[in-house]
Amino acid sequence: MADPVLVAKAAATLLTNEKARKGVGWAIAAILSPIIVLVALLCSLGSGAADHNISAAQLCFQTGPIPADVPAEYRIWVEQMRANFAELDTVIADIQSNMDEGNSLDPIRVKAVFFSLYFGVEAPPVTQLAHCFATSETRTETVTEKDEDGNDVEVERIYNVFVPIEDMATVYSRIAASLGVTATGEQQSNADNVYSLVKYGYPVTGEGGAAFEGADVPYVGADGFCSPVGAGWRNIVTSEFGGRLDPITGQRDGHTGMDLGVPTGTPIRAALPGTVRVAKYDSSYGYYVTIGHENGLLTLYGHNSRLLVRPGQTVQAGDVVSLSGSTGRSTGPHLHFEVRINGQRTNPRYYLPYPHDSGPLGAGIQRHAG
């Protein structure tokens, strides 16, 4: 087993040196780095088998036993972060008890920021950081009370409530003012990745930290059809369905689907509920997934960098099934998306949601005629 300290130093070099990253390639850098934080380069566990590799974030957010072969130094950091998370739960519950109904903090978001800033280093009291995610407001209300004679009288009561802060730029500004810590762009990106990894099971950034805006939220039409890459799909079509010039041979040829240009690592979502039929590598499609749906409809997602489902698995519209890439017969990172009806390929544009009839998953947007 490799010396974890040497592994850590190597990963830190790759992550902080652009030339070094390009020299070894992002794939190797991603193996040595945590997709999440520098110090999460800690765990090449056991004999190094892939199923024994686990990120620091996952260890910290889990509640089960820490694997016995985690190095002692890292075990201490993980145990400390778990203790900090337990304290944060208490503080967050106290803050939320003083919020109006319908308002709440997102504990995973708070912990992800705390983890990104303080894993492996001395942390401040968790109360200070948690309060950076909410602001206190003084409000008044009219209540009915009994006077000395037992009569109902209306009186004005002044009270304080906490209001969650949704804008993360404001949160980081408050952290800087309260704790004297300025979160770097990398730390903020790490926090976003930790949040997405823990809450949804995948990171939000693509190759080199590039993120495709809107891909982190399912975008579903009134008929239930979900865009595989989010609301902005119309702006990133690089090749339409049908006749085209083949980008590799230069010859005119038929194109069996639609190409959507997204950075490597973009989450790819199932278009409809269904069952995964294929999840494997092909010399043409690269790593690809097919999903069987009702009424003879099948969707295909090609050229991925990573598959997140297995054949026979049931998925729902909006579930992440893979991460985009450029594997197989491809000239650059993109998603090749196909829709087939009873085996016949058809234009995906007939099915993909448009702004007038779509919205985030569960938004209840209805289709309008005309």
DSSP 48-76: --GGG---HHHHHH--SPPPTTS-HHHHH
Q: Using pLDDT thresholds of 50, 70 and 90, give the confidence band for residue 203.
A: low
| Measured CA distances, 148 to 124, 151, 153, 158, 208 (Å) | 49, 7, 10, 21, 70
Decide if 91 contacts 127 (C-beta within 8 A). yes
In this prediction, residue 263 carries a pLDDT of 85
Q: Using pLDDT thresholds of 50, 70 and 90, give the confidence band for residue 186.
A: confident
Tens digits of per-residue pLDDT, 319-328? 999 999 889 9
Question: Collapsing DSSP states into helix, strand and coil, what is residue 122?
Answer: coil
> Residue 142: pLDDT above 60?
yes
Sorted by where each begins, the domain ranges of the chain are 74-204, 219-360
CA dihedral 178, 184, 185, 186 (to 10 degrees): -130
> Residue 359: pLDDT above 50?
no
Q: Residue type at 262?
A: V
In this prediction, residue 200 carries a pLDDT of 66
- Count the helices and strands in the chain (H runs, E runs): 9, 17
Tens digits of per-residue pLDDT, 69-89? 777 877 888 899 999 999 999
More confident residue, 73 or 303: 303
Question: What superfamily in CATH does domain 219-360 come from?
Answer: Glucose Permease (Domain IIA) (2.70.70.10)
More confident residue, 29 or 189: 189
Decide if 76 contacts 243 (C-beta within 8 A). no
Q: Using pLDDT thresholds of 50, 70 and 90, give the confidence band for residue 240.
A: confident
Question: Collapsing DSSP states into helix, strand and coil, what is residue 174?
Answer: helix
Mean pLDDT of 179-195: 85
**Cβ-Cβ contacts under 8 Å for 150 (sequence gap 6 or more):** none
Mean pLDDT of 37-48: 36
Predicted TM-score (pTM) of this structure: 0.53
